[in-house]
Structure 1
């Protein structure tokens, strides 16, 4: 009798309910995770985004032998490979930089600086599905479109950003950057892209007292907004000049990581050598415009210093010019999370007042990003091979997760339960 009633009810509800049930089953098969890129290992640790439990480690360089053969037989590629190892990599190869998964949780794209490429890796089998080589000699940060279909990757030495189809790795478009393109971020609706270049952070000329020589050696460093429909650069600023106009002289033009406020008007920027961050209003009228071609809007509204705990360390010893490298903002837009790279701390900063609390998380924090809920900040502790999870509401560290050698980028994503079990 009970079975008959169930069948009758199913027939009455019809195909719409069955479709909804199928969709729910598909959703239930996905696990919300954080991908942690272990740069020097050539691996990525997959961590449960809710329980903070390490679930699995994947190999991001299964084709290492083939890539090394290619590098060793091309003198130009070998020269850059060695330079990356000794310079940017601090004596290590850079195998795993950035990662984003497809919405169905079956594939993850990984940028690999030392191999100058991006690969799509099947999460069930670990095999490489597609590979996109850079036009230049190093791959860096990436970004994924809000719908999860398109991928941006910075081509460090080609001074451009490629747009790829995340599922296939096919190139779709590109836009120009300054010297050493770095981070990109989409707006929530995907209509715009915030992008910055950092210049030649590996050069030894690190003091502004050198004047023209310093500026020339570091190259063009810009912060820009790109229209996603046309890929045209709609606004472009030299942040060093913007800071000088606001009364902050001698600060770098190199914009490092950034955090975009929920209103997408204010952006919080880290710049080279500065312990703290800059608040930039992208819509403020610019009264200093003197000739055609300059941005008509945009102004520095605040500079928030944080403690310098380097005890007089020379600027030349800062890691790739970074005082701080990693900044995120919670879902409410009230608290910023800062990775104090050279200071060995993470800071939670009240956005309105600038008041902060310092957490001694370990050696060389190198990235900060929100978890899927926006209530937690995940900070990679690259010197200690672990990740710290901070609770925005309580201001406390709620978890520490052991990972691989030299974790850098941490990104939220999904993986199917089948792929996890395979």
Structure 2
């Protein structure tokens, strides 16, 4: 009898523990929402801005299922008769997990995709250079930050048509909602001011000072108490109270090219995960006392991230590695890396996205979207053998006839003009030919893009070009002219 009672008591305790754990709640849902264990019905989506694709990954098998092609790579998309999407970038999903909203910056569009069939249901065109789109928690509206202008485009979630606009400080970067749906938090990419909007009447009800003008990403904790946002130009995170009067809580340095932030709840507590593009790391902080608990090497230029429906995994898009890193949130170790499309930006984990069947309709193979070459630059005076610690990573995304060069640059003087250039010598000596000029941010970092037939002249192995082999370097720009190289290509 005692043995049966002990077993019954143990089972009851286990059931209570399971029930409690099942109510942990992962972003963007409320804390009271049930956890959803990882399954083959779930999907991880990544918006890939140079291949103009959305990759679709099964998190239960850590397998890329294919891509949804929304547009063509360059130079095909330069045609005046071109109809596809350009610079696929932002991403949100409906509360019922049946619709994905994908923002394309270059074509000023929001594409709505059926998660079951991977088919495009509708495309809405908005103002100049939208950045992100998210559904209100009640599913009635989709708010789109029109970063090239000064407003939020509010779309009807059923008709996909714009119903109204909310004027905000110029350059709204992103919006996210409180779990209860009362507030929309909108940070700015051009002004040092964030606003809070009441979702019921679209009125601004709060203002929060940003420590810099460039916020690319914002997230609200599932308990509804805090809002975290990143400052990419100065490498910091700020936190403020999610409820009126929206007081500042804390701010702290995270690292150069601080990109996105998101949350995971697990048996150890509640944690914020922040992608640090300039150091190729994800940093983890407690949300109760803001103490750092882990620094995770993940790959080149981590950008978007999203937790699984049960908080056991954090998925991270690696912009300069064309890959998806999977982090175990209990051990804070990378447990898998999955090849995906070119330069993933925003990421979304959608539980139960495919309630029936395989969910592989309308998907295409990775193809050209998976073709990329990787290079690294080191300071001139440094031993070139340490490429893994290189402050600057470069990806050459193959577009067929041309390549897009993207450099994640760090380790330079802040707020100074530089150029990525070509040298005929491995040590960067001699005349230099500029590819792209840029200005570093206050953290001495920058994201630099160029396009052309770059790969043919910087990658060895081609007998036709080896005699004229050239090397990528970074040099300061002084009085309009290139100075001596300060970073050079590793072997």
TM-score, normalised on structure 1? 0.67
- Note closer, same or farther for the CA distance 1:40–1:236 as it changes in structure 2 (3 Å cut): same
| Contact 2:71 2:77 survives alignment (8 Å) | no
2:64 counterpart (54, 63, 67): 54
Question: Partners in 1 of 2:303 and 2:360 — Cα distance?
Answer: 30
Superposition pairs of residues 1-400 of structure 1, within 5 angstroms = 31-61=41-71, 68-69=79-80, 94-102=86-94, 107-122=99-114, 128-134=120-126, 136-199=127-190, 220-240=191-211, 252-282=212-242, 297-306=245-254, 308=255, 323-331=257-265, 334-351=270-287, 352-400=289-337
Which residue of the partner structure matches residue 404 of structure 2?
none
- Note closer, same or farther for the CA distance 1:125–1:353 as it changes in structure 2 (3 Å cut): closer
Higher helix share: 1
Question: Partners in 1 of 2:103 and 2:313 — Cα distance?
Answer: 25
Question: Over residues 91-124 of structure 1, what are the superposed CA-to-partner deviations in whole Å (9 max), with x where a residue is unaligned?
Answer: xx95311234456666433211111111224557
Question: Partners in 1 of 2:79 and 2:96 — Cα distance?
Answer: 32
Larger RCO, structure (CA 8 Å, separation 6 or more): 1
Question: Partners in 1 of 2:294 and 2:253 — Cα distance?
Answer: 13
Q: Describe the SS at the equivalent of 1:255.
A: coil
| Contact 2:180 2:224 survives alignment (8 Å) | no
Higher mean C-alpha displacement, 386-395 vs 352-361: 352-361
Runs of 4+ in structure 1 over 6 Å off: 62-67
Shift of 1:166: 3.2
- Note closer, same or farther for the CA distance 1:393–1:56 as it changes in structure 2 (3 Å cut): same
Which residue of the partner structure matches residue 420 of structure 1?
359
Higher strand share: 2
Question: Partners in 1 of 2:246 and 2:139 — Cα distance?
Answer: 30
Question: Partners in 1 of 2:326 and 2:179 — Cα distance?
Answer: 24
Question: Partners in 1 of 2:79 and 2:358 — Cα distance?
Answer: 29
Shift of 1:340: 0.3
Q: Describe the SS at the equivalent of 1:114.
A: coil
Shift of 1:141: 0.9
Q: Describe the SS at the equivalent of 1:331.
A: strand
Question: Partners in 2 of 1:303 and 1:63 — Cα distance?
Answer: 39
Question: Partners in 2 of 1:283 and 1:109 — Cα distance?
Answer: 27
| Contact 2:137 2:179 survives alignment (8 Å) | yes
Question: Partners in 2 of 1:53 and 1:189 — Cα distance?
Answer: 34
Question: Partners in 1 of 2:66 and 2:199 — Cα distance?
Answer: 35
After superposition, the CA RMSD in angstroms is 3.1
Unaligned runs of 5+ in 1: 1-28, 73-92, 200-219, 241-251, 285-296, 311-322
Q: Describe the SS at the equivalent of 2:309.
A: coil
- Note closer, same or farther for the CA distance 1:393–1:30 as it changes in structure 2 (3 Å cut): closer
Q: Describe the SS at the equivalent of 1:97.
A: strand
Shift of 1:160: 0.9
Question: Partners in 2 of 1:63 and 1:41 — Cα distance?
Answer: 5
Which residue of the partner structure matches residue 18 of structure 1?
none
| Contact 2:92 2:132 survives alignment (8 Å) | no
Q: Describe the SS at the equivalent of 1:415.
A: coil
Question: Partners in 2 of 1:62 and 1:122 — Cα distance?
Answer: 20
Shift of 1:256: 3.2
| Contact 1:144 1:151 survives alignment (8 Å) | yes
Which residue of the partner structure matches residue 448 of structure 2?
none
Question: Partners in 2 of 1:152 and 1:168 — Cα distance?
Answer: 14
Unaligned runs of 5+ in 2: 1-38, 362-491
Shift of 1:388: 1.0
Question: Over residues 321-350 of structure 1, what are the superposed CA-to-partner deviations in whole Å (9 max), with x where a residue is unaligned?
Answer: xx2011112136621101001221111223
